[in-house]
Amino acid sequence: MDDYEFLEPFDRLVTIKICGADRKVPENNSILRGLQFLDIENISYGDFCWNGECLNCQVWIKSGDKEKAVIACRANVEEGMEIVRMSEGMEIS
């Protein structure tokens, strides 16, 4: 867990869909922290303010038949969440 001390405490990983792929990320964390968990190098050194002011971490969540834009550093992951698009520079491996 030392490698992930940047995360909020969590008991389990939840499954979310990112651009069509199922991924497991820590519960009780922001979407951006979940992406950092998946690709620590890319996200840690990305051009993100981490406080919601820059909008560089905007993602679009499937909401019914529509998409809803959210700021990934301000929105928490939820089991079954589906991210359909991400801002440029948020590529994860």
Domain regions of the chain by residue span: 7-86
Looking at residues 84-89, what average pLDDT do you find? 94
Give residue 93's pLDDT.
Answer: 82
pTM: predicted TM-score of the whole model, two decimal places: 0.93
pLDDT digits (tens, 9 = 90+) for 43-74: 999 999 999 999 999 999 999 999 999 999 99
Domain 7-86 belongs to what topology? Ubiquitin-like (UB roll) (3.10.20)
Secondary structure (DSSP) of 25-93: EETTSBHHHHHHHH-HHHHHTSS--SSSSS-TTEEEEEETTEEEEEETTTSB--TT-EEEEE-TT----
